[in-house]
Structure 1
Amino acid sequence: MRLRRFTLEDAPFIVALLNTPGWLAFIGDRGVRTEEDARRYLTAGPLASYARHDGLGLYHVARRPDGAPVGMCGLLRRDTVPDVDVGFAFLPEHCGLGYAGEAAAAVVAHGREAFGLRRIAGITLAGNAASIRVLEKLGLRFEREITLPPKHEPLRYYARDLA
């Protein structure tokens, strides 16, 4: 895997990723239908996070051999939760191949080494069994249920110390 910061040139990939059935079901519709929408999403989301949090944010994930984009993975600092959390999403044809686990382990290690993180969380819907498996493989354990806007259903909060 190769991880890098997103750029506005990634808009076509963002349109595809944010409209997959998994994204829509487990993360939520962000109203991204066009490349212009995707550029707005990137500007307000990942690019703003890099600027606000010294590079912390979601990263573009590609296969190393051919550079094909497969998903996104990164660390999110939210105002509404106490811990930085790991987030990830992959195109359906790249799910179940170990990419999420590999990318998530890399960003957690980067968070510990580059940002000095001492604790990491993961947040997902109870029905997202694939994401729960990735979080548990990272050593995160269920702690409690929370709610975050825009979703109003309970989310499962997993976490662990990194020290």
Structure 2
Amino acid sequence: MPILQTQRLVLREFTPLDAPFLLRLVNEPGWHRYINNPGVHDVDAALAWAEGRLFKAYREQGHGFWAVQRRDDGVLVGMCGLFKRAVLPEPDLGYALLAEYEGHGYALEAARGCVAHARVLGWPALMAITAVQNERSVALLAKLGFFEQGQEWFEGYDEPSRVFRLVL
């Protein structure tokens, strides 16, 4: 079931059938460099990771990180969504794509859809965090109107993260 649609994309909840895709996504060099290494090395581990990180949020929060598919052919290109982290005062916008789909505007298009969805939900603001050296992500957040709030250390990360906020 689609959560939202944009001109070229459909965002939907991940399902257990997406575990092979998630295995690939969380093992991308960019994921390891800019997010973390979740230690997911096979499909069963990807399914367990999805249960704790994705499916649980859908049940408990009613939103989370969604599968990003192209509308024209259904190909999964990444994830994007809205997630409430305990360490942030407002929900967080997050996104990640397989490297082969970067540079096509999919992340910006999906993120714009998520921002619009947050407005429909009546949320007052969104947060976003990036790795300090992730300039592409910083540029995307600037295009969306996010303002940098500084840097903060979060559990599970080896370095501080840049923190951004967008008033909706």
Normalized against structure 2, the TM-score is what?
0.93
Match for 1:59 among 52, 57, 66? Answer: 66
Task: Specify the SS of the correspondent of 1:29.
Answer: coil
Name the aligned partner's letter for residue 145 of structure 1.
Q
Q: Read off the aligned partner of 1:2 and give its amino acid letter.
A: V
CA distance in 2, matches of 1:85, 1:135: 12
Q: Between Structure 1 and Structure 2, how many residues are aligned?
A: 160
Who is 2:110 aligned against? 103
| Structure 2 stretches lacking a partner, 5+ long | 1-8
Secondary structure of 2:77's aligned partner: strand
Q: Percent identity?
A: 39
Match of 1:33 in 2: 41
The CA deviation at 1:153 is 1.1
* In the alignment, structure 1 residue 74 sits paired with structure 2 residue 100: no
More deviation, 147-156/60-69: 147-156
What is the CA–CA distance in structure 1 between the aligned matches of 2:104 and 2:155, rounded to whole Å?
Answer: 30
Q: Distance in 1 between matches of 2:32 and 2:17?
A: 22
* TM-score, scaled to structure 1: 0.96
CA–CA distance in structure 2, aligned partners of residues 111 and 160 of structure 1 = 11
Looking at structure 2, the residues matched to 161 and 10 of structure 1 have their Cα atoms a distance apart, in angstroms, of 33
In the alignment, structure 1 segments of 5+ residues that lack a partner are none
Q: CA deviation at 1:35?
A: 0.6
From 121, 127, 130, give the equivalent of 1:124. Answer: 130
Query: In the TM superposition, what is the alpha-carbon distance from 1:152 to its structure 2 partner?
Result: 3.5
